[in-house]
Amino acid sequence: MSLPRVTVWNEFIHETEHDSVRAIYPEGIHGCIRDFLKAAGHDVQTAILIQPEHGLTDEVLDSTDVLIWWGHVAHHKVDDEIVERVWRRVVAGMGLIVLHSGHASKIFRKVCGTPTGFLRWREAGESEVVWTVEPSHPIAKGLGPNFVIPHEEMYGERFNIPAPDELVFLGWFEGGEVFRSGCTWRRGRGKVFYFQPGHETFPIYHQAEIQQVIKNAVLWAAPQDEIQPGTEEVSFTPAPPVMALRDTGFQAVEGLHDKAE
Amino acid sequence: MSLPRVTVWNEFIHETEHDSVRAIYPEGIHGCIRDFLKAAGHDVQTAILIQPEHGLTDEVLDSTDVLIWWGHVAHHKVDDEIVERVWRRVVAGMGLIVLHSGHASKIFRKVCGTPTGFLRWREAGESEVVWTVEPSHPIAKGLGPNFVIPHEEMYGERFNIPAPDELVFLGWFEGGEVFRSGCTWRRGRGKVFYFQPGHETFPIYHQAEIQQVIKNAVLWAAPQDEIQPGTEEVSFTPAPPVMALRDTGFQAVEGLHDKAE
Amino acid sequence: MSLPRVTVWNEFIHETEHDSVRAIYPEGIHGCIRDFLKAAGHDVQTAILIQPEHGLTDEVLDSTDVLIWWGHVAHHKVDDEIVERVWRRVVAGMGLIVLHSGHASKIFRKVCGTPTGFLRWREAGESEVVWTVEPSHPIAKGLGPNFVIPHEEMYGERFNIPAPDELVFLGWFEGGEVFRSGCTWRRGRGKVFYFQPGHETFPIYHQAEIQQVIKNAVLWAAPQDEIQPGTEEVSFTPAPPVMALRDTGFQAVEGLHDKAE
Amino acid sequence: MSLPRVTVWNEFIHETEHDSVRAIYPEGIHGCIRDFLKAAGHDVQTAILIQPEHGLTDEVLDSTDVLIWWGHVAHHKVDDEIVERVWRRVVAGMGLIVLHSGHASKIFRKVCGTPTGFLRWREAGESEVVWTVEPSHPIAKGLGPNFVIPHEEMYGERFNIPAPDELVFLGWFEGGEVFRSGCTWRRGRGKVFYFQPGHETFPIYHQAEIQQVIKNAVLWAAPQDEIQPGTEEVSFTPAPPVMALRDTGFQAVEGLHDKAE
């Protein structure tokens, strides 16, 4: 089985505007993530906000098994039509990994159904300890009971997400807060993972444990079958009975109105 | 403690167009539901599609603890702005009960984050057996192990919903299908219940067990605290540490950009 | 509706052996819990290890809607037969609230199915911050976003429990650890709540927020129907079909062997 | 990565006592399952009730990644000590697949924490339709929306299990019942799958879809790390703080009493 093909999306603004961020990520956060996933053997593409269609054309998505999303200050600049397109791919089977400030992105809000922008935050360079709650989860493979991020932006509860299907990691912050830092959900046939670490002013995506989690998550989120967007619509045709149906005395009424969205 | 105040929303189209439906629900499906909830002591309002703002003004929602939703052929006619308004109320604490063909409504798709229109269906007047899976759930109070609906539209799996927080009822259909007929989710501070029975051409909302489930669901879905829309935004202000924070050597950077949606 | 009747069980050893503990809980931890539940209007009994049948006779359990459990150094002295008796009550509908070091008790291990004794711990009098993850949960009623316990024994992940049905509270500890501090599960018809705070050498059960959580939990855990131990056995009799079953050509074979436990 | 090593356990009584069962499973149900798993490339051992230690010696378990369990009339003859031994392996990471009448086995009751013997049942050779609820789950790989078992024993709700972590399959029965036919749970580091089909008087384990599910489940249930029984006990040593702990003014009290089970 060949490895999942990944597309890394980044709004790519901080890196162009701040020397301090560019010093950490000279080719952008997406460049850093691309590099360690390529080294792990994946086919990796990148896409950024200012490209036509934000770089997320049908052609790009056709060759994407797992999409990674990083955004922060420009969530509102992402076109609703592209968000809808990405969402349709997710529910058809494409994996989605949302990183850090992507919690407030349109695509994450859409798959969650809650105002996921809401959480506590504080930028003070404090340390975070990430704890593994489900050591047997594929996304925790190779990780120990905990690891430390020396400097991180604080994200604290209550994080306004639906209860995750699986809670994999919890985060502890110096100033007294906790966070559900690694969470999974299924949406349609697609798997979604949110991972909290990753502020742009700290070299977090260079840290070995963080890269391990993202590599694990890519393998976990990959679709197990070929993605076939739109094929689920077949269920809208009236279903013939699986077993013989007695004569109910009713005229079967079928397909009078379109139930499709 | 006073009983939750309920608003019953209905697109109210079938009843105006088909004598057969009007014969069953002379005052509309919403009228039937209103009547048995009033008899149970609730303050009940109704609202329909053709009213200004679909009858769901801020004033109406201000006096609504639980909203019940029935729609079928006109989901696309519901204004996106009203859907957004209702959704903001739900995540702030208003209960939401979605009935039958409401599975494809905009509001249910928005809280689920999946294309909930997808399921198998067949109109042949076949019988359904509804089974209680969680007898200790408040929504199952007073119900036995199962009850029979003599004639129902078939809804079959796979129903494209996120895994429910709680699965309360399962449905069995004569022709061979099964369905997750009673499901709950939390979204923000609001509680959501989907209940599958209820086709407009059968007198389902006159059936005692169905009324019992809906009455139970209203009590369960009611907010436990006063609803305060918008107050969660406070979490967007940077959070002072709960515990003393050592000097991290970093300049605290606060509120440089609006994280609000 | 009358308030749930509560029985508070305590192994009652620390209080008899250590002046420092007795100074905090002169009538035992069970006495302290009894008092604030009585003040809230509940009928409350207490029971301790050294009583015959550990005070948990059938008569006592017959008048118990919710059982609260505190134990620490004498889990192994609790008779297996009494554990079995309590477990049968729980699955028949009696609520169970397990406090602090009760995590390693026989009854909690039995309802969990995991070695729940396993967790990190450290006694250093450090502070804990308890965070509300599900503010709309009945057990969180009246609580704010967080509250502080000035001195507590540290309990840290990984806590070897099955993924909770609902995660209500998370705990933060000064030394770097986090904990799933408030968790719920259904078992049979019974509801189970585990609450982590409560070390015997600190006056934790005198703290207002802790008392609020326990009072909320009692209301939540109470059975909604009358408890009828043993009545579920009826399902072992072969079930007649709910709907007419065609002639399958097979001789119906019924009840040849006892499937009961 | 080599394929998981499987041990198939069978009480092996029906096949020795009834010609009709032996005709279907000449080498026992375990022999049938062994054969199709061997054909899929797995190392497979079998074990039966009458062997010393029921064939589940430490040596056998040392070379077992996934244990499959089939029992029916002799659950009470399985030694409690062996059940405890198997359970310790499961929470340490060994996968467990429980088939059909194994629902009432001691090991399944122990991992569930509920009286899992309770369900409705009827032997009338009626047909079952198995529906896939989570098509993207690894255990559903390669399966379609549904498949039919021509003749099966009916198992109906309410099945007295804890709410599954994941509901993969639902079963429909001719006489009007439904069942949660494919369910998963995590327990400790181990993964547990219950699969309802499989009565001994029908050739169910010869059916292609059933074999596909069991083969999928073996791959899913396999531990991702080497199983190291007992190593979690390390968490019983008091934990040094991960981060510097201020002087709390308390004497650290460590390991005064054994918290181990």
Summarize pLDDT for B128-137 with one digit per residue, the tens.
999 999 999 9
Flag whether residue C243 sits within 8 Å of chain A, measured between CB atoms.
no
Residues C71, C28 contacting (CB under 8 angstroms): no
Coil, helix or strand at residue A196: coil
Confidence of residue A252 (pLDDT cuts 50, 70, 90): low
Q: Which residues of A touch C163 (CB under 8 A)?
A: 134, 166-167
No. of helices (H) and no. of strands (E), chain B? 7, 9
Give the global pTM: 0.95
| φ, ψ (nearest 5 deg) of residue A182 | -140, 115
pLDDT on residue D1: 56
Residue B256 has pLDDT above 50, yes or no: no
Considering only CA atoms, which of A129, A95, A98 is closest in space to residue A227?
A: A95
Cα angle at C258 between C252 and C260, to 5 degrees?
120
**Average pLDDT, integer, range A200-225:** 96
- Report chain D's mean pLDDT, rounded to a whole number: 91
B245 in reach of chain C (CB within 8 A)? no
* A72-124 pLDDT tens trace: 999 999 999 999 999 999 999 999 999 999 999 999 999 999 999 999 999 99
Residue B174 at interface with chain C, using a CB cutoff of 8 Å: yes
Please give the structure tokens belonging to residue A188: 């349609």
Q: CA-CA distance, A162 to B101, in Å (whole number)?
A: 24
Cβ contact, residue pair C136, B190, below 8 Å: yes
What value does the mean pLDDT of chain C take?
A: 92
Q: pLDDT digit string (tens) for C66-102? A: 999 999 999 999 999 999 999 999 999 999 999 999 9
Cβ-contact D63, D2 below 8 angstroms: no
Best C91, C96, C136, C139 residue to mutate vs chain B (most B CBs within 10 Å)? C136
Residue of D129, D136, D139 to mutate, interface with A, max A Cβ within 10 Å: D136
**pLDDT at position B252:** 55
* Range D44-71 average pLDDT: 98
> Residue D258 above 60 pLDDT?
no
- Name the residue in chain A with its Cα closest to that of C168: A163
- Which residue of A136, A174, A191 is in closest CB contact with D136? A191
Residues of chain B with Cβ-Cβ distance to D180 below 8 Å are: 133, 170
Sign of the dihedral defined by the CA atoms of residues A36, A42, A43, A45, in that order: negative
Query: What local confidence, expressed as pLDDT, does residue D230 receive?
Result: 58
Q: Summarize the confidence of residues B175-180 as an average pLDDT.
A: 96
Q: Which residue of A has its CA nearest to C157?
A: A133
Neighbouring chains to A with at least 3 Cβ pairs closer than 8 Å: B, C, D
- C158 and A133 within 8 Å at the Cβ level: the answer is yes
CA distances to A255, C254, D64 from D100, in Å: 39, 17, 21
3-state helix, strand, coil in chain C (%, to 5): 35, 25, 40
**How many Å apart are CA B167 and CA B170, to the nearest integer?**
8
* A225/D134 CB distance under 8 A: no
- Residue among D135, D172, D180 minimizing CB distance to B176: D172
Q: Which two tokens stand for residue B75?
A: 């989901």
C-alpha dihedral sign at B14, B19, B21, B27: positive
Q: Are strands D95-99 and D146-156 parallel, antiparallel or unpaired?
A: unpaired
Residue % of chain A over a pLDDT of 90: 84
In the block, which residue shows the tokens 């002072």?
Answer: B240
| Residue-level pLDDT at B255 | 39
D77 to chain C: which residues are within 8 Å by CB?
Answer: none
Question: Which stretches of chain C drop beneath a pLDDT of 70?
Answer: 1, 228-237, 251-261
Phi and psi at B123, nearest 5°, equal -100, 105
Sheet holding D166-173, edge to edge: D44-48, D6-10, D66-70, D95-99, D190-195, D178-187, D166-173, D120-132, D146-156
DSSP state of D107: H
A 51-90 residues inside an 8 A Cβ radius of B:
72-73, 75
Is the CB of B239 inside 8 Å of chain A's CB atoms? Answer: yes
Q: Percentage of chain B with pLDDT > 90?
A: 84
Residue A59's CB: how many other CB atoms inside 10 A? Answer: 9
Selection from B196, B239, B1 nearest residue C138 by Cα: B1
Enumerate the residues of chain A whose CB falls inside 8 A of the CB of residue C166: 163
- Phi, psi for B103 (deg, rounded to 5): -60, -25
A129 touches chain C (CB under 8 A): yes
B134 touching chain C per CB within 8 A: yes
Q: What is the pLDDT of residues A19-67, one digit of tens each?
A: 999 999 999 999 999 999 999 999 999 999 999 999 999 999 999 999 9
Confidence class of residue B1 from pLDDT cuts 50, 70 and 90? Answer: low
Which residue in the set C134, C146, C157 is minimally distant from A131, CB to CB? Answer: C157
Residue D120: closest C-alpha in chain B: B145
Which helix (H) or strand (E) element contains residue D122?
Answer: strand D120-132
Contacts of B94 by beta carbon, 8 Å cutoff, 6+ apart: B61, B64, B65, B66, B67, B86, B190, B223, B227
- ipTM of this model? 0.94
User: Is the pLDDT at B115 greater than 70, yes or no?
Assistant: yes
Other Cβ atoms less than 10 A from the Cβ of A83: the count is 19
* Maximum alpha-carbon separation in chain B: 76
The pLDDT of residue B258: 38
pLDDT at position B244: 84
How many other β-carbons are positioned within 10 Å of the β-carbon of residue A76? 11
Eight-state DSSP code of residue C253: B
Q: How high is the pLDDT of residue C245?
A: 84
C112 touches chain D (CB under 8 A): yes
Q: CB–CB of D103/D76 below 8 Å? A: no
What is the average pLDDT across B66-82?
Answer: 97
With an 8 Å Cβ cutoff, are A232 and B118 in contact?
yes
CA–CA distance, B34 with B57 (Å, rounded to integer): 19
The Cα–Cα gap between A176 and C176 comes to 9
